[in-house]
Amino acid sequence: MCPEVLKNERILLIDDEPVNLKLLDRTLRQQGYQNLVLVEDPREVVDRYLEERTDLILLDLNMPHLDGYQVMEQLQAQHDPLLPPIVILTAQHSKDFLMRALAAGARDFITKPFDRNELVMRVHNLLEAQLAHRLLHDQKSVLEKMVSIRTEELHHTRLQIVQRLGMASEYRDEETGNHILRMSHICALLAEAIGWDEAQCDLILNASPMHDIGKIGIPDAILLKPGKFEPEEWEIMKSHAEIGAKLLDGDDSELLRMARDIALTHHEKWDGSGYPNGLVGEEIPQAGRIAALADVFDALTSQRPYKKAWSVEAALSFILDNRGLHFDPALTDVFAEQLPAIVAIKQRYAEP
């Protein structure tokens, strides 16, 4: 380590005796150290320490108001990951005093009256070690920041892909991507209302757009048919739930696991009359139950080439009539309570 680099390091000198401070100051300045902070009153130490980064502390033990042990305790309470090394200056030669100082956080000690050459060498060695420690810490912080930025970029890219996959399925069904925006935000609103944490709400916001991804596998002649399905056509149409689950299967990320659950179960019904597996009540994943409510409500209140939009009142009446049949009863009650916020989402993401 270049000795000149160390000359700019900040050293905090703490001693209640002005004569001792002047001696320390003169000794270190003769060696080229200029960034020295002298403190006589130990009650000022923490404030002076926090004013600017400190690289080394020379600390007397026996002082009025606060002794060296108490000063170290206050410094440790700052929880600074780069707390500088502390060198104890003391006339005490007792092993008990020294062991207590080391246990309190001191890195080294120098007995008074100190040898100037010994002092200079200890200061140099500890500053060198602290500088190396700081460089490693800074490097780690930079790497952690780079990883965090890259992780966020990957997360954003994954969400963009997910949203576009969902929009692709809706466009095939002659719907617009705004259905996905409305439906996913309603899902997140309901999830928050029943107590899901922020991370889980974010998951359902970004997983629910893929609820109908399986429609990619449905032939246009059936998917785009304007009239009523024949029985065999309806069976093919219903298969989009299982197709979607297969498309999303095999990934261990929380996002795609939830997306798979929603794709597979958002057409299941509370009373077991839904598809594809006729699940009953809480056998249906909660995310699927939430998505069912959000999807049906937005579908009913949106205009399509084959139907007019229902009024909010009519759609709510349908949902309440199907409480405990199609929809989870408790979720249905929450849905009704959140209706003003749900209507606000519909207005915010209305069709252009």
- pLDDT the model gives residue 161: 72
Neighbours of 334 (CB within 10 A): 18
Model pTM?
Answer: 0.59
User: Residue 167 domain-assigned?
Assistant: no
Q: Which tokens hold the place of 291? A: 């998505």
Look at residues 166, 196, 202, 171 and name the one whose alpha carbon lies nearest to residue 181: 166
CATH at residue 65: 3.40.50.2300
In contact, 291 and 211? CB cutoff 8 Å: yes
14 Cβ contact partners less than 8 Å away, ≥ 6 residues apart: 39, 42, 45, 57, 58, 59, 60, 63, 68, 71
Answer whether 21's CB lies under 8 Å from 15's CB: yes
The arrangement of strands across the sheet holding 108-111 comes to 36-39, 11-14, 56-60, 86-90, 108-111
252 in the same domain as 122: no
**Using CA atoms, how far apart are residues 87 and 28, in angstroms rounded to an integer?**
14
Residue 168 lies in a domain: no
pLDDT for 169-214, tens place per residue? 666 655 556 888 899 999 999 999 999 999 999 999 999 988 999 9
Asked whether residue 183 falls in the same domain as residue 140, the answer is: no
What pLDDT score was predicted for residue 160?
73
Question: Cα separation of 236 and 159, whole Å?
Answer: 29
- The low-confidence residues of the chain, meaning pLDDT below 70, are 1-5, 141-142, 158, 163, 166-177, 305
Q: What is the pLDDT of residue 348?
A: 94
* Beta-bridge partners for 88: 59, 109
Query: Residue 4: what pLDDT?
Result: 62
Q: Is residue 156 part of a domain?
A: no
Domain range holding 75? 3-144
Same-domain pairing of 120 and 71: yes
Same domain for 192 and 334, yes or no, is yes
Q: Say how many domains are in the chain.
A: 2
Whether residues 119 and 237 fall in one domain: no
CA angle 49, 51, 54 (to 5 degrees): 45
Cβ pair 179, 204 in contact under 8 A = no
Q: Decide: 61 and 92 in contact? Cβ < 8 Å.
A: yes
Question: Under DSSP, is residue 160 helix (H, G, I), strand (E, B) or coil?
Answer: helix
Instruction: Among 98, 125, 144, identify where a domain stops.
Output: 144
Q: Where is 109: in which H helix or E strand?
A: strand 108-111
**What does the CA dihedral 192, 193, 194, 199 come to, rounded to 10 degrees?**
10
- Look at residue 183 and tell me if it is in a domain: yes
* 89 and 205 together in one domain: no
pLDDT tens, 13-65? Answer: 999 989 989 999 999 999 889 889 999 999 999 999 888 888 899 998 888 98
Burial of 236 per CB tally in 10 Å (0-12, 13-18, 19+):
middle
Q: Which residues pair with 86 in a beta bridge?
A: 57
